[in-house]
Structure 1
Amino acid sequence: MNKSFLNQNLSFLLIGMVTTLTIETSIIPVKANTPPQIVAQANNDEKIRIAVLDFDYSALSNPQWLLNIFGGTASGVSDIFVNRLVDSEKYRVIERSRLNAVLAEQNLGTSGRVDPSTAAQIGRLLGVEVVLIGSVTQFDIQKQGSSFGLFGVSVGGQTTEALVSLNVRAVNTTTGEIIMGAEGSGVGTQKDDQVYVLGMGGGTTTSNEGKLLSVATQKAVDSILSEMEKKNDRLAAVPKVLPTVKAVIADISGSNVVLNKGSGDGYRVGMKISIERVGKEIKDPETGKVIRRLTTPIGMVELHDVDQSSSVGKILSGNGFTIGDIASPVQ
């Protein structure tokens, strides 16, 4: 065979391969899927109040990837989960600062194994209906390579996959019962290619393991949210709990009183509030801090207008209310 003819055809073959590989490597699915659309309930006051504990990762045989990406804890996974819950606009999610304050007060860590009984206790202190306990069951990077040769040209490639699996249990804070379980998995994939001509290398290789794991985590979370939506009737059936935060009267206008707490603290339309007058404050003799207030009930109001930070109630009984009187939810 003519040598120049062979070289010319080999050049065309090589150009075609490199062109094809360039097109393949430009399509790298490193962008997370759009989270599932969850329709918000019509009345914000009826949203289920949820607290999300840090995910447990004790089931992982090698948690190094998790620790490297999320700074030594699984809080990064729970943060992604919280953000997705908030974005869904279906649930009212407790802020991490309030959760951490309760955990510190009860001498409980922010991560690790938590049983349903302990989760229910934490939830009651936060005034939420449901606490979500999550576990990371897979958090791995897997790499696979392949190659073939023709006319002195060797074409190789490496596929990197990030695999993440999560499961979540929803605990009714009133009963301590697990009312729902959901599992979700996600995969982040990247393909790199190499071309070798008579021992000379060329091609593309990148290292995006952290980004791939984040993408896979988001996909796993979205999968769980889809499962939660299918089982939403179980969550909706959980009875509303009374807020643990007391309010005070901020204003009085005719038969209406305005309180300084709203839906952000669990107050909702239709809730009945006991109005109490402080009779005596008891202080710690060592620090001077008020440790208890002795109150006397003087009336009752029913809330008919609630926003994020305030509530308006109609007086049902009692009179002589003043600004600063204590307001305690009773039903």
Structure 2
Amino acid sequence: MRHYPLVAGVAVAIAASTLSSPVAIFANPAGTNAAGVEQIRVTPSKRIAVLDLDFANVSKTGTYLGLYGQNGPSKGVSNLLTNELVKDGTYVLIERSKVEAILAEQNLGQSDRLEPSTAAQIGRLLGVDAVLMGSITQFNMEDQGNDVSIGRIFGLGGKQKKQIANVQISTRLVGTATGEILSAAEGSGRADKSGGGGSIFGISASTGGDSSDRLLGEAAKQAVDQVVAQLVTVAPKLAALPEVLPTAEPVIADVTGQEVILNKGGKDGFRPGMVLSVERVIKEVKDPETGKLLRRQTQSIGRLQLTEVDAQSSVGTILNGQGFEVGDRAKAVE
């Protein structure tokens, strides 16, 4: 079986924050003069994550190539898609190793078929505004041409053929706040080359060379470029969506200097850069019959901004206020 560099992997330049943990997401505090004083300026560009494209129902017409392991060319094409989105610069892309880490943590494989609602949940864990998912619907080579035989009794033969690579991909951009499909983008590519070859007494004497790698790469690049162009036009729509703040109220688990650790994270919709009001509980009203909490009265004692988020917890830096204690509650305000 022949191997293709596109499938094996494409070098990806990722524009994402530097990470010290494979499953934690950080806000970049560059430009902050003093911890606990100046609010971090969060980039206005929307953050998206690219999941591996599904390869289960790929067209198998012509000469079928590129099926390596369970995912086939899905990882290579998905990396290429991420790379081209990074080059365009409209969106901020999340490092794909981080996507894989979150999927592993949730017991989901990149090859698993995901519904938009599940993709949205993964996006919230990653702290992104949208998730790009989809399928490779065609990825194959075709050989066109006629064989011409000369003196088969002597083992002589020759042929002239035309190699054609076909790649088609279909994607959906899913908003993480609601699970809504914001856009559907499709792309197709086709590359071909003519070449000749022959054999003498069963020994190959090809003159055209094996150009399948290059042709599949060219076709995939064409398809990806079309998808990227369509996704760029959706950026204003994504930017115009109202910010949906999480409703969960995390509790402070630790306070060390200007750093505060909360007991909720990406699983509940929290993301780096969010600002939370820290609330001190001053009164709880319970149902006299059932003992169920009816209302909690709180008083704001300051604000903090999240700088690091994983699935289960968050880390924030104090913006203003003092006297924060373990057990104080917080709620997202911006």
Corresponding residue for residue 58 of structure 1: 56
Q: How does 1:147-166 map to 2 (within 5 A)?
A: 157-166=160-169
Contact between 2:305 and 2:316, CA under 8 Å: does it hold in 1?
no
Give how far 1:136 is off. Answer: 0.5
Match of 2:195 among 192, 197, 201: 192
Return the structure number with greater relative CO, CA threshold 8 A, min gap 6. 2
What secondary structure sits across from 2:67 in the alignment?
helix
Aligned length: 244
Q: Please report the TM-score for the alignment, with normalisation by the length of structure 1.
A: 0.59
> Which residue type is aligned with residue 120 of structure 2?
A
- Mark the CA change 1:78 to 1:96 in structure 2 (over 3 Å): closer, same or farther: same
Corresponding residue for residue 47 of structure 1: 45
Contact between 1:248 and 1:326, CA under 8 Å: does it hold in 2?
no
The structure where helix makes up a greater share of residues is 1
> Which residue type is aligned with residue 118 of structure 1?
T
Q: Distance between the aligned counterparts of 1:111 and 1:203, measured in 2?
A: 37
Give how far 1:172 is off. Answer: 1.2
Corresponding residue for residue 302 of structure 2: 299
Match of 1:171 among 171, 174, 177: 174
1:125 partnered with 2:128:
no
Q: Distance between the aligned counterparts of 2:73 and 2:139, measured in 1?
A: 13
Contact between 1:273 and 1:300, CA under 8 Å: does it hold in 2?
yes
Corresponding residue for residue 110 of structure 1: 110
Structure 1: gaps spanning 5 or more residues: 1-42, 149-154, 196-200, 260-264, 278-295
Contact between 2:117 and 2:179, CA under 8 Å: does it hold in 1?
yes
Give how far 1:164 is off. Answer: 0.1
- 1:268-308: CA deviations, max 9, x gaps? 4xx5234589xxxxxxxxxxxxxxxxxx97421579x9xxx
1:67 partnered with 2:67:
yes
- Mark the CA change 1:206 to 1:242 in structure 2 (over 3 Å): closer, same or farther: farther
- Mark the CA change 1:45 to 1:111 in structure 2 (over 3 Å): closer, same or farther: same
Q: Please report the TM-score for the alignment, with normalisation by the length of structure 2.
A: 0.59
RMSD: 4.3
Corresponding residue for residue 145 of structure 1: 145
1:84 partnered with 2:84:
yes
What secondary structure sits across from 1:111 in the alignment?
coil
Give how far 1:328 is off. Answer: 7.7
Q: How does 1:94-105 map to 2 (within 5 A)?
A: 94-105=94-105
Structure 2: gaps spanning 5 or more residues: 1-40, 149-157, 199-203, 262-269, 281-298, 308-314
Give how far 1:234 is off. Answer: 2.5
Q: How does 1:267-306 map to 2 (within 5 A)?
A: 267-268=272-273, 271-274=274-277, 298-301=301-304
Q: Distance between the aligned counterparts of 1:241 and 1:299, measured in 2?
A: 22
